[in-house]
Chains A and B, each alone.
Chain A
Amino acid sequence: MTPTLHEDLQLQVRDLEIAVVSGAERKPVVKGISFDIRRNETVCLVGESGCGKSVTALAVMGLLQTPPMRIVGGEILLRAGEEVFDLARLDPRGRAFRRLRGAAVSMIFQEPMTSLNPVHRNGAQIVEVIRRHTGLGRRAAWQRMLEMLRLVGIPSPEVRARQYPHELSGGMRQRVMIALALACRPGLLLADEPTTALDVTTQAQILTQIRELSRSSRTSTLFITHDLGVVAQIADRVHVMYLGEVVESGPVREIFHRPRHPYTRGLLASVPSIESEPFSRLTPIRGTVADLPENPAACPFEPRCESGFGLCRGRTPPLFEVSTSHRSKCWLEQEGRP
């Protein structure tokens, strides 16, 4: 059976479950998340470290550390040209997945300093992916690579292409990574905290670059970050993740102006704003991320929640629809509640 995907969508993740499997033991890392990305749209996955956002992206790339990690349920539907693939069912090491990786879906990683191979020249690393997927000859691939470097704003690309990664700054290396990721014009780009390791001015440039390039090349982007400032700049829609679950999702304006889930509100309250009073205190979310919940039946956020009540300790809430595009996984949304 060939999987089908609504024609507006580039990627649809349904009930994706990822677990660390050792022997008979299964420790869930991602607990049945669902989200989709439309064509030419930028979607942000937001959450604290360890909430499963990077793992989700790696699963889409087929680059999970297996063993011990494994997709144990759900589907990942990806559009690649005219075809639709369920990546959760493809063998990550198999030929079919390798044909998609780098061509239909590609990824920018967090650490520009270590993500490029130190013994290969910058240009050659991009040429490799172009030649792998396009069948272009050596010379044509080289030209395409130079064009990509120019596109990501690298000055004198002919010189930079012949240099090694250690001769470039962190920001430059991340540009090379962006050029590498977009070289085969993928339909979907995964960006896993691509600006976290960079200084603030470079961060802004790189963000603009990613946004403009993905717009102009009609690439959908899944942007992973814990930085709400970045989200505000780049996202069309946002999914907030907590402990392996999506707890709130909606358009970026809704999330920032009318956050519904107590966790999202906590996140927003803990960010300093230019308009806040000088020397006023930020409000942190109390407690720390629990590794294993004490009460598996309860809402996972209940131990840290400011607005919890009786029901929260008894049952996990479903995703409530706040509006047609806005959902929150919280009992506060139940009919008849304020």
Chain B
Amino acid sequence: MLELIIRRTLNVIPICLVVFTIVFCLMRIAPGDPATAMLGDYASAEAVQSLRQEMGLDRPLWSQYLDSLRGLLHGDLGRSLSSGAPVSDQIASALPETLALAASSLAIGLLLGVPLGIVTAVRRGRPVDHAGRLFSLSGLSIPSFVLGILLMLLFAIDVPIFPAIGGGRSGDLSDQLLHLALPSLTLGLIMMAYVTRVMRTSMLNVLQEDYIRTARSKGIGELRVVLRHALPNCLVPLVSLCAINVIVLISSSVMVEIIFSRPGLGRLLISAMRQRDYVSLQSVLVVYAGIVILVNMTADLLYGVVNPRIRSR
């Protein structure tokens, strides 16, 4: 088990290198450069040229690539081209915001979606099943930015319970949690829709299995049959779904962070893109790639936990 974890962690390094290289190339191919973005369209050619020199953009591409790579390998992500601040500081302040958003949305999705999936499966064809399916279908159909704005209108403006924008005062946990409520509800409700569907389908399948009949033949109550005998067998598809959806979640978090003006990775990403801030951009994207890889790795390890047949291999 430990060996597996170490091996998988070491795998992260080459993948991040590949991502870094791709991002590096893509950005140089894309039109526009940071000097023009900073100085505006009407700047003189000399001014642009001297700024480019200052930023080191006039050097050959391979030397720029090797320099940034060397920095990355030493843990030095360089300084932002637009603000001059160290990129690692920017990421260190933005990453927790994004992780908190992703984790709380995932928690909301699972805490609401798993029970709803179970109930709709057990009460198949009854009113609660129809209502639950309608609910999850609407969750699947609504884009995160629409739901985000709707929630903001409802719970920040019409009924002002939660703050509409911002990330909360740093150091004030309750204020930060209050600011987290609407963004995580936005992503969490969408997550819940997926979880409900997968949970319902796999529960319906599992309830048909022979071992469920065996469980019933022991004379145990239906609640125990569902929770102790059926539910653990539904977890494998649920883990796969979560792995895929956390990745979707991270990408929709960019949108949600923009809507709610949260100082997370998503905002950092968008502003770096606008400024053609190569240095910040490549680091942020490598961090995103790292998150995705870690999520997949966690899912692979969880498979072993939920399924004894995988564990023994």
Q: Which residue numbers of A lie inside 8 Å of B, CB to CB?
A: 61, 63, 93, 97-103, 106-107, 109, 111, 114-120, 125, 128-129, 132-133, 164, 166-167, 177, 180-181
Contacts and interface: CB of A to CB of B under 8 A. Distances in A.
Contacts of B308: 118-119, 164, 166
A116 B222 CA distance: 17
B213 A63 contact: yes
Contact of B211 (A98, A99, A103, A114): A114
A103 B220 CA distance: 11
Please tell me the size bucket of the interface on B: 20 to 34
B139 to A, nearest CB: 29
B309 interface: yes
B220 A167 contact: no
A324 to B, nearest CB: 35
B309 A103 contact: no
Contacts of A101: 216-219
A93 B217 contact: no
Q: Which 4 A-B pairs have the closest CB atoms?
A: A101-B219, A102-B219, A114-B210, A129-B218
Q: B214, B220, B222 — which one has the most chain A CB atoms within 10 A of its CB?
A: B214
A166 B210 CA distance: 15
A117 B219 contact: no
A164 B214 CA distance: 16
Contact of A117 (B217, B233, B306, B307): B233
A63 B233 contact: no
B215 interface: yes
Nearest to B235: A119
B210 A98 contact: no
Given A117-B229, A118-B309, A119-B232, A98 B214 contact: no
A167 B213 contact: no
Contacts of A129: 218-220
Contacts of A106: 217
A177 B213 CA distance: 12
A67 to B, nearest CB: 10
A227 to B, nearest CB: 20
Contacts of B40: none
Contacts of B158: none
A55 to B, nearest CB: 13
Interface in B195-212: 209-211
A115 B214 CA distance: 6
B219 A99 contact: yes
B31 interface: no
A117 B215 contact: yes
Contacts of A63: 213, 216-217
A4 to B, nearest CB: 24
A116 B211 contact: yes
B222 A93 contact: yes
Contact of A164 (B209, B215, B309): B309
B309 A128 contact: no
B218 A117 contact: no
A118 B233 contact: yes
B14 interface: no
Nearest to A112: B210
Given A109-B213, A111-B210, A177-B214, A128 B220 contact: yes
Given A118-B211, A166-B312, 12 more contacts: A93-B222, A101-B216, A107-B217, A109-B214, A116-B211, A117-B233, A118-B308, A119-B232, A129-B220, A132-B218, A164-B308, A166-B309
Nearest to B311: A164
B306 A116 contact: no
A129 B216 CA distance: 10
B171 interface: no
B217 A102 contact: yes
B21 to A, nearest CB: 42
A167 B308 CA distance: 10
